[in-house]
C-alpha cells in the first residue's frame, strides 16, 4: 500500500465529462443550482444528482439549501487551481473541444477565474503590478509591497476589509491559456470588482468572459504601465 495523498480519488472525481462541465462552470465563482448544473452538464436531473452527491462526498463542491433549491459552489481555490492546471495540460496535449466562434479568443483574453481576472489581461495585470513593484514574492507566493498597499488605497480598495477575511490577500494562480500566472486572492478579486465598479469591464452573462470597454481597456493599460 502506497502512503500519501490518494490523488486517483480526486482525479477520478474530476475525470468525468459531466462533472468536469459542472466544475468548469462553477469556476465563475457563482453558486449554481442543481438544475442549472444539470443543464450545463447536458445530463438529466437524476444523473446530475448522482454526480453532485459524489462531488459533495469528495468535498469538491459545497452545497447550500435555499427553499427547494440547492446551490453549489466549489469547496476552495485549490479546486480552481487544479482545474486551471488540468486545462493547461489538456491545451498542451491537444485535448480540446473546439467550436468555431468568437468566444474562445475572448475566453483567452479576459475571463473570470473563480473571482479574479484571468486570461491574457489577467497575466498582464500580474506582470504590470510586479514591474511597478506593487507586489513581490513571499512564502505564500506573492504579497503586496508597501508601495502596493498605497496603490490599493488610492485605487479605492478597502485593504482592512480584505484583511478581515480568512484568505490570503495575494495568491498566484497558473493561467492555462497564457501558461503564466495571474493574481488570485482577495486582493485579486477586489481589483476585478473595482474594474466592474469603474465601468471598465463587465461580465458577459452565462459565461466566464469578462469584456472590457475600449476606454476601460485603455485605463487598464495605463494602470499597469503608466
Query: Footprint of DNA on this chain (CB under 7 A)?
Result: 16-19, 33-36, 43-54, 67-70
Q: Give backbone dihedrals phi and psi of 61, rounded to 5 degrees, phi first.
A: -125, 160
Question: Considering the complex, what minimum distance in angstroms separates the CB of residue 95 from a copy of itself?
Answer: 4
Q: Is the dihedral of CA 205, 26, 156, 210 positive or negative?
A: negative
Nearest by Cα to 185 from 131, 122, 132, 109: 122
Q: Name the site residues for a copy of itself (rule: CB under 8 A).
A: 1-17, 19-21, 24, 58-60, 75-76, 78-79, 81-83, 85-99, 101, 103-104, 107, 123, 126-127, 130-131, 135-142, 172, 174, 176, 180-181
User: With CB cut-offs between 5 and 8 Å by kind, which of a copy of itself, DNA, none does residue 48 bind?
Assistant: DNA
Question: Considering the complex, what minimum distance in angstroms separates the CB of residue 55 from DNA?
Answer: 10
User: With CB cut-offs between 5 and 8 Å by kind, which of DNA, a copy of itself, none does residue 140 bind?
Assistant: a copy of itself
Q: List Cβ neighbours of 74 (8 Å cut-off, separation of 6 or more).
A: 23, 26, 27, 60, 61, 62, 80, 114
Q: How far apart are CA 106 and CA 80, in angstroms?
A: 19
Cβ proximity to a copy of itself: between 87 and 189 the closer is 87
Cα radius of gyration rounded to whole Å, the chain:
18
User: With CB cut-offs between 5 and 8 Å by kind, which of a copy of itself, DNA, none does residue 164 bind?
Assistant: none
Q: C-alpha cell of 176?
A: 492555462
Cβ proximity to DNA: between 16 and 120 the closer is 16
Cβ proximity to a copy of itself: between 17 and 161 the closer is 17
User: With CB cut-offs between 5 and 8 Å by kind, which of DNA, a copy of itself, none does residue 59 bind?
Assistant: a copy of itself
Question: Considering the complex, what minimum distance in angstroms separates the CB of residue 131 from a copy of itself?
Answer: 8
User: With CB cut-offs between 5 and 8 Å by kind, which of DNA, a copy of itself, none does residue 118 bind?
Assistant: none
Question: Considering the complex, what minimum distance in angstroms separates the CB of residue 103 from DNA?
Answer: 23
Cβ proximity to DNA: between 48 and 113 the closer is 48
Q: How far apart are CA 34 and CA 44, in angstroms?
A: 10
User: With CB cut-offs between 5 and 8 Å by kind, which of a copy of itself, DNA, none does residue 114 bind?
Assistant: none
Between the CA of residue 23 and those of 37, 120, 145, what are the distances in Å? 9, 22, 34
Q: CA angle at residue 188 from 109 to 135, to 5 degrees? A: 105
Contact of 91 with 108, CB cutoff 8 Å = no
Amino acid at each position: 500500500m502506497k502512503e500519501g495523498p490518494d490523488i486517483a480519488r480526486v482525479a477520478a472525481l474530476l475525470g468525468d465529462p459531466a462533472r468536469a462541465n459542472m466544475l468548469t462552470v462553477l469556476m465563475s465563482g457563482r453558486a449554481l443550482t442543481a438544475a442549472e448544473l444539470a443543464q450545463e452538464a447536458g445530463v438529466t436531473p437524476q444523473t446530475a444528482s448522482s454526480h453532485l452527491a459524489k462531488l459533495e462526498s469528495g468535498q469538491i463542491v459545497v452545497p447550500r439549501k435555499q427553499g427547494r433549491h440547492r446551490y453549489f459552489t466549489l469547496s476552495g481555490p485549490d479546486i480552481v487551481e487544479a482545474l486551471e492546471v488540468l486545462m493547461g495540460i489538456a491545451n498542451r496535449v491537444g485535448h480540446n473541444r473546439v467550436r468555431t466562434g468568437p468566444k474562445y479568443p475572448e475566453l483567452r483574453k479576459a475571463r473570470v477565474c473563480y473571482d479574479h481576472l484571468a486570461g491574457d489581461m489577467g497575466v498582464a495585470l500580474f506582470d504590470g503590478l510586479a514591474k511597478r513593484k506593487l507586489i513581490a514574492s513571499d512564502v505564500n507566493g506573492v504579497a503586496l509591497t508597501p508601495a502596493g498597499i498605497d496603490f490599493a488605497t488610492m485605487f479605492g480598495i478597502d485593504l482592512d476589509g480584505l484583511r478581515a477575511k480568512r484568505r490570503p490577500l495575494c495568491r498566484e494562480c497558473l493561467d492555462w491559456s497564457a501558461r503564466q500566472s495571474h493574481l488570485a486572492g482577495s486582493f485579486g478579486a477586489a481589483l476585478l470588482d473595482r474594474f466592474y465598479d469603474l465601468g471598465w469591464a463587465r461580465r458577459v452573462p452565462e459565461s466566464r468572459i469578462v469584456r472590457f470597454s475600449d476606454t476601460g481597456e485603455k485605463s487598464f493599460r495605463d494602470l499597469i504601465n503608466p
